[in-house]
Amino acid sequence: MAAVRRLPGGQKVALDLSWQTWSVFVEALRSSFGTKVAKEQAITEWLILQHSTSIDNYLDTLINLVWRTGYPEEVAKNKLVRGLNKEVGLAWA
């Protein structure tokens, strides 16, 4: 038996049964908004990123976040310099 719903005014509309389960609905939302959520998460990671011990890990994470956020080159250069720990920052100055 096909699912039917009545709209205001008495019109019958056949419902798409693929939306019957919650998981399908959640996956559709995730695919629609996933990019925005991923970018917002990357921006949050960008804001807290600081160089601590490994320059390799810092640069790898920075490059990954530049790609995920879409920030321009000047913003990336600024973050690179300002995010370094004092010891490496002085050596690179």
Average pLDDT, the chain: 81
User: By the 8 A CB rule, do 68 and 42 touch?
Assistant: yes
Q: What is the pLDDT of residues 24-67, one digit of tens each?
A: 877 777 777 767 778 889 999 999 999 888 888 989 999 999 98
Within a 10 A sphere around the Cβ of 83, how many other Cβ atoms? Answer: 19
Q: Is 84 left (phi over 0), alpha (psi -120 to 50) or beta?
A: beta
In the 8-state DSSP scheme, what is residue 49?
-
Does 78 score more than 60 pLDDT?
yes
pTM: 0.58
